[in-house]
Amino acid sequence: MAETLLTIRDLTKFFPGIKALDNVHLTVRTGEVHALIGENGAGKSTLVKILTGVYFPTGGTITMEGRELNFKNAIDAQQAGIVAIHQEASMFLELSVTENIYMGHHLRHPKTKRLDWKGMRERTGELLKQLELSIDPDTLVKNLSVAQRHMVEIAKALSLNAKVVIMDEPTSALTTREVADLYRIVRQLRKEGKAIIFISHKFEEIFEICDYYTVLRDGQYIGEGKVADTSTDEIINMMIGRNIDHMFPKKDPNIGDEILAVENLSQLGAFQNVSFSLHKGEILGFFGLVGAGRTEVMRTIFGIDKRNGGSMTIGGKPYAPKGPHDAMAHGIGFVPEDRQRQGVILSMSIGKNITMPQLGSLCHFGITNAKRELEVTKTYGEMMEIRAAGWHVDADTLSGGNQQKVVLAKWIGTNPRILILDEPTKGIDVATKAAVHEFVSQMAGEGIAVILISSELPEILGMSDRVVVMHEGDVTAVFNRREMNQEQIMRAALGETKEALHG
Amino acid sequence: MGEIQMKNTRDGNFLQRVSKVLLARREASLVILLAVILVPIVVRSPQFLSFTNIDRIINDISILSIVAIGEFFVILSNGIDLSVGSIIAFSGMASGMLNEAYPQVPVFFLLLLGTGLGAVMGAVNGALVAYGKIPPIITTLGTMSVYRGLTFVLSKGTWVTAHEMTPNFIGFPRQSFLGISALIWMALIVIVVTYYFSRFTRSGREIYAIGGNATAAKFVGVNEKRIRFMVFVISGTLFGFAGSLWTARYASAVNEMATGFEMQAVAACVLGGVNFAGGAGAIPGVVLGALFLGVLNNALPVVYLSTFYQTLVQGMIVLLALVINTMVDQRKTRKLLEQRRAR
Amino acid sequence: MAEQRDLVAKTRLIQETGWRNALIELFTKWEVLLGIIFVLMVVFFSNLSPYFLDYFNLMNATFQFSEKAIMALPMIFIIMCGDIDISIASIIALCAYAVGTASAAGVGTPGLIAIGLAVGAAAGLVNGLLITGFNMPAIAVTLATQSIYRGIAQAALEERAMTKYPAEFGFFGQEFIPGTMIPFELVLYIGLAVIMGFVLHKTSYGRRLYAIGSSPEAARFSGIKVKKIRITNYMLMGLFSGIAGVLLTSRILSARSNIATSWDLEVITLVVLGGVSINGGKGTMWGVVIASFLVGYLKFGMGLLKLSGTIMTIVIGTLLIIAVLLPRLLDGYKNTRKMRRQQAEAALQSAKA
């Protein structure tokens, strides 16, 4: 008999300028796998951060087994039995699997207080066997694959006697076989009465393994229910809740000649035999699940990482960048995924950020010219409608949306021929999102070739003239705007089309 | 999943497999390097491996081992301690002066004094780093000057010579128990105790955690401030202990003693495979690193290099070790990437 | 025009947040604090010793710190980018050895200067290539080269000193600009400080240094050639160490292998004291120049009061620690104010909604 384990009511969270969560509800029972569904920016990760004690809620209640919870820090959450499976950032790479699981609560011999390695190793072995994993407890985590590290995280959650396990896109970097392993583990946890909050974009997963679902949109609670009683369409409806046409102002494309051709590009461990072509005025979408290799391909095109094989041409001439400056010299701009670490320099002013890529050309013999810089800043800053107290304000005071506008202004200022955008609307409020889409269409209309990496299907469908789908480093499909539909793209992204197509 | 690991070691013939396992551990590769270097030296001068010579080498590196272990804990936590020489000098000078002024004070107490003073100085370092949040390099840069200055103030500019100290004190390091000198015994005790600490206590392991991934460590409840403070107290204590031993061993306490010794301590750590980014390394490696330096220094005359070549050779060896460590790490990452593709 | 706009915005900001805030902002500026301490120090020493405010004495005192001050200039670039170099004193030793040997072989003054600068720049280049080429931590690499460079001098010179130098060579380190009492070293320092300050604050190179220090990844993504800049920084550091080496040798007309020991840490102290954050991305040339004069004249004043060199060492060490501790406390204070303001804003928003 399943009892209510965790109840969240009216959960609200404010950040300066953004209402991340607005009276959100969530109910999770024992022995239940509960899908938390929503687009990027719907509020899922904020919710998770509150549940794990990283953020404090502005309002609302969290109740577990009848008791109201008030976390002061991450440890409180853990002790209450809520554990989240993080990405790699929370492992100790130089330490063994055993130690990663036991750090913070090592077992000790009762009398001498000496660490009981034998005991810990045995218990870890048991845990791993329970999950049917053939990992040696003494292996150093740095020698494990991504999938194995995930599994160790799960084992760690179990060792902490977690009652609620939160998994955030757990299958993003796994092979089909590893995904099956994960499902098996999830089912086992369910049998043991644990509750799993399962965050995923992939509908087959949700329908395969989840019992209940809750949908969030723009920080609001939209609905919940039994997975068995609903359908993909219904869920998508709840997720999007709006007509796609309004969201993405798609201008009639004016597609010109080929400007970039990539042939059999490979990078060890990231992607292989990637080929596609890009035309002037075209918006080429790149879809795939996390870990598909899209960002890695773009980083190679932009000259950040080296390639191990293949070739590229721009405008017909061979292109082999020695670094980002080289790519920029060829007219390529790159709006990276990690806005705060790669896109803007937080401690510098908006003006300095915008002028950074073209600083050389704004200087006479290397000497900076404040007047010229201000002109450039104004031109592109106003073009992007950046809202701030002044151009001298530091970038870290801006909201995420405005920061992204700074990044866009910075690159548009270089007059690129090719503009690569990596998840440009991730974590941004709806208004700015629409503005970015409008802007991208405009750029394409003026003849700039645009590559748009996105994990949001609606965005890809709405914006792209063509779509390249990647899966685990391979290009699995290329679709025309006329032929693309959600299901086919998704299947290609899951690797279910065996042929790799060359666009 | 785990099968991928096993498949690798089953590849290749026996020799290849053995070398793969050996090279996997940094300490093992150091042993091999040591053996390799020893060969030409022993060939040229067979008495290099004589008991007296080995005894000399090990005595030489005893103090270095203790100091290197202290530095090890700091580097492990992703920091660095430049005040090594100054802490040694202050505690060494204090021990020497006490011995001169009150010859009846037992040796044990002199050692205790040095150790205690070192602990206090380490605590100051630790407080500034952990609670003042000053980066270790700046903190120890400052305390390095302060402690050295205090040494001068303590000694009022003079120094303590062999005649002014008791034979009990000066002779202590050489006293032999079961055929091994007291100095080596001191080092052995330190090694055993610190090894136990680093492998079998929670706090010891938490130092690895803080150094390896401070965010993750805090997430599982490790008290970062406490660990960072503790690490400097440990190093200070060991440096202080080494200071008293230094005065006894070299039968003198001068204001400039142990100047620049931080270089040797860090060199021993680097050679021993301690990672500057923190979170990786072990006591056996550090001791091996110190041994390596000891062998090097001792071998110089054998290859007809004057002791003036000591600094140069040490620097080159450390650089070589750094490059090797870096390239080994890069190869490992590459191998892991290849493994991923092999799925 | 840009300044006008900025000024308007700033005045509006002040009007909005009050004069009290503005004053706090001003007085917690590092350079201002240093300036205040400098003035206090001058007052202190001039009261205690009649010889302090003597023009000739003050000029003479600069000989003792000009070389270190010169080396602090490129060290700013290095630390600004998040790197460090503790081999600089050893580079001096290497240059001194090279110059001394060349001089003994009969090379004339221009050649000696060229050799000193070239050896320094080469050593710096090696540092830069090793660090960026193998991606190794700067502290570890320069720790090793610290031994290697000095080790070369030690192995070659052993206990000897090189003392043979052409007559004119002594000009640079000992003489004054003809007709005035201003030492050549001081003039050279000020000239170099002006140039380096200009580069740091008014050129694209300087702007890029700040970018690299603030966010190396974002800098790379903006097309900044991070590797090249870091190598250039180290080469400059080596070159300036060469300059200091030539000046020092010229001043004392002798070169031993233990020349300039502990200078590396002193120079770093000057830079950090000058307000440059050890993590990179923050700091000004003014701060370091004031800090250099501050420490230099502090030592001079203490010498006049017959305080031993050791007391000086203690004072400088303590000054360094306080200098770094203070801003952290101030930052903490500023941050709590900022957080309270943000919380108030957030509360206001939730009340509106």
Query: Is residue B338 in a domain?
Result: no
Please state, in angstroms and rounded to a whole number, the distance separating the CA atoms of residues B11 and C275: 57
Neighbours of chain A (3+ CB pairs under 8 A): B, C
Classify strands A67-68 and A164-168 as parallel, antiparallel or unpaired.
unpaired
In 3-state terms, what secondary structure has residue A425? coil
- Taking contacts as CB-CB distances below 8 angstroms, the residues of chain A near C221 are 304, 324, 334, 336, 342-343
Q: Which of B1, B75, B199 to mutate to test the interface with A (most CBs of A within 10 A)?
A: B1
> Once rounded to an integer, what is the mean pLDDT over residues C295-304?
89
- Going by C-beta distance under 8 Å and a sequence separation of 6 or more, which residues neighbour residue A341? C215, C217, C218
Are B289 and B269 in contact by the 8 Å Cβ rule? The answer is yes
C193 pLDDT higher than 50: yes
All domains of chain A, ordered by start, with CATH? 4-242 (3.40.50.300), 243-331+416-503 (3.40.50.300), 348-414 (no CATH)
Alpha carbon B241 to its chain centroid, in Å, reads 13
The DSSP element (H or E) to which A19 belongs, if any, is strand A18-29
CA distance A163 to chain C (A): 33
Question: Do residues B71 and B81 touch, judged by C-beta distance below 8 A?
Answer: yes
Lowest mean pLDDT among B278-282, C130-134, C305-309: C305-309
Report which of residues C10 and C258 the model is more confident about. Answer: C258
Q: Residue A350: how many CA atoms within 13 Å on its side-chain side? A: 30
Within-domain flag for C320: yes
Contact B152 C310 (CB under 8 A): yes
CB-based contacts of A54, cutoff 8 Å, min separation 6: A74
Helix C55-80 crosses helix C226-252 at what angle (to 10 degrees)?
A: 160
Amino acid at A275: S
Give the contacts of C35 (CB within 8 A, at least 6 positions apart): C290
Would you call B186 helix, strand, or coil by DSSP?
helix
Give B253's pLDDT tier (boundaries 50, 70, 90). Answer: very high
Are B319 and C308 inside 8 Å of each other by CB?
no
Nearest to B319 among C144, C150, C310 (CB): C144
pTM of the model: 0.84
Q: Which residues of A239-273 are buried (b: 16+ CB within 10 A; e: fewer)?
A: beeeeeeebbebeebebeebbbbbeebbbebbbbe
- Average pLDDT of chain B is 85
Q: Region A270-296: what's the mean pLDDT? A: 88
- Percentage of chain A modeled with pLDDT above 70: 91
Domain with C265, as residue range(s), is 55-324
- pLDDT of the residue at C37: 87
Cβ separation of B4 and A135 shorter than 8 Å? no
Looking at the predicted structure, is the pLDDT value of residue C200 above 90?
yes
Q: Confidence class of residue A246 from pLDDT cuts 50, 70 and 90?
A: very low
The region of weakest confidence among B253-262, C40-49, C67-76, C172-181 is C172-181
Among the partner-chain residues B196, B205, B275, the one whose CB lies closest to the CB of A106 is B205
Q: Contact, C176 vs C58, CB < 8 A?
A: no
Q: Is residue A13 left, alpha or beta, with left meaning phi > 0 and alpha meaning psi from -120 to 50?
A: beta
The answer to whether the CB atoms of B149 and C139 lie below 8 A apart is no
Judged by average pLDDT, the poorest of A13-27, B14-28, B265-279, C48-62 is B14-28
Task: Give the whole-angstrom CA distance, residue A390 versus residue A151.
Answer: 49
> What per-residue confidence (pLDDT) applies to B3?
33
Q: Does the distance separating the beta carbons of B141 and C265 come in below 8 Å?
A: yes
Q: Is residue C99 part of a domain?
A: yes
Look at A368 and C204 and tell me if their CB atoms are within 8 Å. Answer: yes
Question: Would residue C170 count as lying in a domain?
Answer: yes
pLDDT bucket at A247, cuts 50 / 70 / 90: low
Residue A13 has pLDDT above 60, yes or no: yes
Between C29 and C234, residue with greater pLDDT = C234
Q: How far is C321 from chain A (nearest CA, A)?
A: 25
Interface with chain B: mutation pick from C295, C313, C319, highest number of B CBs within 10 Å: C313
DSSP character string of A77-127: HHHHTEEEE--GGGS-TTSBHHHHHHTTS--B-TTT--B-HHHHHHHHHHH
Q: B: neighbours with 3+ CB pairs under 8 Å?
A: A, C
Per the domain annotation, does C251 fall within a domain? yes
Under the banding of pLDDT at 50, 70 and 90, the label for residue B232 is very high
User: What pLDDT is attached to residue A495?
Assistant: 67
C44-100 confidence digits (pLDDT tens):
888 888 888 888 888 888 988 999 999 999 999 999 999 999 999 999 999 999 999
pLDDT tens per residue, range B89-103: 999 999 999 999 998
Distances (CA, A) of A364 to A326, A344, A449, C203: 21, 25, 31, 9
- Rounded to an integer, the average pLDDT of B288-317 is 85
Find the range with the poorest average confidence among B126-140, C1-15, C106-120: C1-15
Residues of A in contact with B219 (CB under 8 A): 74, 90
Q: Which of A44-53, A272-281, C139-148 is the least confident region? A: A44-53
The Cα-based distances of C179 to C57, C176, C183 in angstroms read: 17, 8, 11
> For residues B37 and A371, which has the higher predicted lDDT (pLDDT)?
A371
Answer for the pair A36, A26: CB distance below 8 angstroms, yes or no.
yes
Whether residues C346 and A323 touch (CB distance < 8 A) is answered with no
Q: What's the domain range around B169?
A: 30-39+50-326
Over chain A, what is the mean pLDDT? 85
pLDDT surpassing 80 at residue C2? no
Chain C 84-103, residues with CB within 8 Å of chain B CB atoms: 84
How many structural domains is chain B composed of?
Answer: 1
Task: Classify each residue of C230-248 as buried b or exposed e, where b means 16 or more C-beta atoms within 10 Å of its C-beta.
Answer: bbbbbbbbbbbbbbbbbbb
Question: Mean pLDDT over all residues of chain C?
Answer: 86
Asked whether residue B7 is assigned to any structural domain, the reply reads: no
At C208, which amino acid appears?
A: R
pLDDT band with cut points at 50, 70 and 90 for residue A496: low
pLDDT tens across A163-210, in order?
A: 899 988 777 666 777 788 888 888 988 888 889 999 887 777 888 999
Residue B343 lies in a domain: no
User: Rounded mean pLDDT of C131-136?
Assistant: 92
Region C4-23 average pLDDT: 60
> Cβ A345–C219 below 8 Å, yes or no?
yes
Subunits with 3+ C-beta pairs closer than 8 A to C: A, B
In this complex, do B201 and A269 lie within 8 Å of one another by their Cβ atoms?
Answer: no
CATH number of the domain at C73, please: 1.10.3470
Cβ of B209 within 8 Å of Cβ of A473? The answer is no
Residue A438 has pLDDT above 80, yes or no: yes
Looking at the structure of chain C, the number of domains it has is 1
Candidates A49, A94, A114, A306: best to mutate against B (most CBs of B within 10 A) is A94
Q: Which residues of A touch C220 (CB under 8 A)?
A: 304, 324
Length of chain A: 503
Q: In this structure, is residue C35 part of a structural domain? A: no
CATH number at residue B192: 1.10.3470
> Are C35 and A403 a contacting pair, CB within 8 Å?
no
**Residue with more model confidence, A335 or A7:** A335
- How far apart, in Å, do the first and last CA atoms of chain B sit? 9
| Of C74, C58, C117, the residue nearest C270 (C-alpha) | C74
Residue A124 CA to residue C206 CA, distance in Å, equals 53
Residue B72 located in a structural domain: yes
C145 with B80: Cβ contact below 8 A: no
**Measured between CB atoms, does B222 come within 8 Å of chain A?**
yes
Q: Is the pLDDT of residue B260 over 70?
A: yes
Residue C47 lies in a domain: no
A480 vs C177, higher pLDDT: A480
Res C19: pLDDT:
65
Q: pLDDT value at position A503?
A: 33
Is B11 a residue whose pLDDT tops 80?
no
Partner-chain residue, chosen from A90, A117, A145, that has the shortest CB–CB distance to B1: A145
Can you name the residues that pair with A334 across neighbouring β-strands? A420
Q: Give the lowest-confidence range in A30-34, A243-247, B227-231.
A: A243-247
The pLDDT-based confidence of B234 (bands split at 50, 70, 90) is very high
C308 against A168, higher pLDDT: A168
* Cβ–Cβ below 8 Å for C155 and B133: no
pLDDT surpassing 90 at residue C344:
no
| Of the candidates A499, A491, A406, the residue with the CA atom closest to the CA atom of residue A203 | A491
Query: What is the pLDDT, as a whole number, of residue A465?
Result: 92
| pLDDT computed for residue B238 by the predictor | 97
pLDDT in tens, A385-401: 887 778 888 888 887 78
Lowest mean pLDDT among A45-54, A230-239, A272-281, B288-297: A230-239
- Alpha-carbon distance of C265 to A329, in angstroms, equals 41
Please give the interface size between A and C, counted as residue pairs whose CB atoms are below 8 Å apart: 98
The verdict on ipTM greater than 0.90 is no
